[in-house]
């Protein structure tokens, strides 16, 4: 069991922080790999076609909460009920869903424990669902890009009308009076 190799048994209560180390924006999906790499040196990427990572991440989170001082739970920005990663900084250990790119990453291929015949049967459906998901994500990111363009246009209109010197003076006076 990989988890038990790295995590000592203990009865401490973990400090739990919830974060997003992945985002969806007008440029597409962004992974904050540098943040994860800076916190954890041993990273296990859970890969496979059949979304078994959720179960493994939930188990890792529960185990870590029982024995680590600090646990960071990163959630999927598209579905905030789903874990994206479990980081245990004091052990420099992380378990991440597929899609991450880490400096020192070991891959755990979860499909290896599934019946091969069932995988062959379900693979065409799964691939079609992934294609649809990619298409929908592309459309959503396109809408975000359009919204950003509109925001940038609006910003150009009001920036020309703003008196930044007056705003800076007000800010300085407020700070002097209240701080």
Gap between the Cα atoms of 100 and 103, Å rounded: 10
What ranges make up the beta strands (E) of the chain? 15-19, 22-25, 28-31, 42-47, 70-76, 79-88, 93-97, 105-109
- The pLDDT value recorded for residue 100 is 78
- To the nearest 10°, the Cα dihedral for 118, 119, 124, 128? 120
- The pLDDT value recorded for residue 3 is 61
| Other residues' Cβ atoms within 10 Å of the Cβ of residue 96 | 28
- The pLDDT value recorded for residue 12 is 59
**Residue bearing the bigger pLDDT, 6 or 145:** 145
- The pLDDT value recorded for residue 103 is 62
Q: What is the pLDDT of residues 111-147, one digit of tens each?
A: 887 788 888 888 888 889 889 989 999 999 999 999 9
Beta bridge partners of 46: 97, 108
**Residue bearing the bigger pLDDT, 100 or 104:** 100
- The pLDDT value recorded for residue 13 is 74
- The pLDDT value recorded for residue 5 is 67
Q: What is the pLDDT of residues 45-100, one digit of tens each?
A: 988 877 778 888 999 999 888 888 899 999 999 889 999 999 999 999 999 987 77
- The pLDDT value recorded for residue 172 is 95
Stretch 155-167: mean pLDDT: 89
The pLDDT-based confidence of 107 (bands split at 50, 70, 90) is confident
Stretch 141-162: mean pLDDT: 92
Scanning the structure block, which residue is given the tokens 């992945």? Answer: 22
- The pLDDT value recorded for residue 162 is 87
Kind of pairing, strands 42-47 and 93-97? Answer: parallel
Contact 41, 106 (CB under 8 A): no
């Amino acid at each position: 069991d990989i988890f038990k190799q790295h995590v000592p048994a203990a009865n401490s209560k973990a400090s739990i922080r919830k974060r997003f180390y992945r985002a969806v924006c007008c440029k597409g999906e962004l992974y904050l790999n540098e943040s994860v790499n800076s916190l954890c040196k041993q990273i296990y990427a859970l890969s496979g076609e059949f979304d078994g990572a959720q179960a493994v991440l939930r188990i890792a989170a529960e185990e870590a909460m029982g024995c680590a001082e600090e646990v960071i739970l990163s959630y999927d920005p598209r579905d905030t009920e789903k874990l994206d990663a479990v980081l245990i900084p004091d052990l420099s250990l992380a378990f991440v869903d597929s899609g991450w790119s880490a400096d020192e990453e070991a891959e755990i291929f979860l499909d290896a424990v599934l019946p091969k015949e069932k995988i062959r049967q379900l693979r065409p459906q799964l691939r079609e669902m992934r294609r649809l998901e990619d298409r929908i994500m592309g459309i959503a990111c396109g809408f975000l890009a359009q919204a950003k363009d509109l925001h940038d246009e609006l910003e150009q209109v009001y920036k020309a009308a703003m008196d930044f010197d007056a705003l800076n003076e007000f800010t300085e006076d407020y700070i002097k009076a209240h701080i």
